[in-house]
Amino acid sequence: MSKINSNGSAEHHFTAARRIPTPGKATVLAIGKAFPSQLIPQECLVEGYIRDTKCEDVSIKEKLERLCKTTTVKTRYTVMSREILEKYPELATEGSPTIKQRLEIANPAVVEMASEASLACIKEWGRPVEDITHIVYVSSSEIRLPGGDLYLASKLGLRSDVGRVMLYFLGCYGGVTGLRVAKDIAENNPGSRVLLTTAETTILGFRPPNKSRPYDLVGAALFGDGAAAVIIGAYPFTDKESPFMELNYAVQQFLPGTQNVIDGRLSEEGINFKLGRDLPQKIEDNIDEFCRKLMGKAGLEEFNDLFWAVHPGGPAILNRLESNLKLDNQKLECSRKALMDYGNVSSNTIFYVMDYMREELKTKKGAEEWGLALAFGPGITFEGILLRSL
């Protein structure tokens, strides 16, 4: 089909024929996302962060400026605001015991974002909320009992016998772990429909810069807030559901002896992260074998025959993966676009990538049938799913 663009010329759009889902395999039926109201352009971040944390060290400001340029991030959303800092000025004070205050902000914020993303997803899905049989809730940004899974189920009006799974503190690979868990539930419970929701905020890690914690500046330059949701189910009803991706096969693997490369510790001041400089190299050294393990299930051999939905932990990881696997330049375009538009939003980001990928596969002539969803996080843990575009 074609339409006329603003300069009067015709744009041609190709709509691919739909493929039939493999019987018994879980499929993605809908997707939704949500963000806090505050949008920060990357060019405004440095001045705001330095002002809010009352940092007077010029060298720290210059380093943050350099980091903001190298991340490739253009915009991010954040829960943190001037109003919050006015109410809780201790959040910007070095050494203040503020975990209680942080959780007062983060706990309701992540459920609110998760609810908005879930409602958007359910609306796209088009079926009643009562038809959701299970919920998988993923977050590294809240701590409480009961967890956000119960608060979200209540807020959405889910039935009281909905099966709930809470996945806490998995970090950046949590979204793909959630897909793997939802896939298992959907394929082993006939007729089930699983709402998978992820929600993250950087409130727990916000603090003034300190030269003894260089990774704090990386976090300030790279991470954002938001939520995402998908509905997962097998044997989709073609008259009232629109499956667009099949979750064909899933693998999780950790690299022995690497548990300190990504290190997160909860303290009275919030959560502290340390990131080893060798993380991109560790991923590069092991990614080929891991991908081939997934691809082998469909008899696939060529990396460039696939579409790629990779969690954009940062540009260095994407660049290493692209170089090591000799991927064509456009293969990681959806990952790079998600990083540019939202930053690294931890467990959510893979769904922003998949949303961009869905649109690309809809309109791309000769679009790939098979692809990989990949994410990496503490462990070092690799999560991967062999995807099939429908």
Q: Dihedral angle at the C-alpha atoms of 5, 332, 278, 206, nearest 10 degrees?
A: 40
Q: Dihedral angle at the C-alpha atoms of 279, 379, 136, 140, nearest 10 degrees?
A: -70
- Is 172 catalytic? The answer is yes
Report angle CA 328, 388, 175 to the nearest 5 degrees.
85
Residue 390 CA: distances (Å) to CA of 2, 20, 78, 184: 22, 7, 34, 19
Out of 44, 55, 68, 172, which one is annotated catalytic? 172
Spatial distance between the Cα atoms of 373 and 340, rounded to a whole number of angstroms: 19
Tokens of 13: 């759009």
Spatial distance between the Cα atoms of 332 and 123, rounded to a whole number of angstroms: 29
Residue type, 328: D
Longest dimension (CA), the chain: 62
Residue 221 makes CB contacts below 8 A (sequence gap 6+) with 45, 64, 67, 68, 70, 71, 73
- Intra-chain end-to-end CA distance of the chain, in Å: 20
* Contact status, residue 227 vs residue 200, Cβ threshold 8 Å: yes
Written as one string, the DSSP assignment of 76-127 is EEES--HHHHHH-GGGGSTT---HHHHHHHHHHHHHHHHHHHHHHHHHHH-S
Spatial distance between the Cα atoms of 197 and 195, rounded to a whole number of angstroms: 6
Spatial distance between the Cα atoms of 5 and 187, rounded to a whole number of angstroms: 44
Q: Which of 140, 115, 138, 274 is nearest to 203 (CA)?
A: 140
Spatial distance between the Cα atoms of 373 and 199, rounded to a whole number of angstroms: 19
Tokens of 383: 């999560």
Neighbours of 127 (CB within 10 A): 16
Give the residue carrying structure tokens 């088009």: 126
Catalytic residues: 172
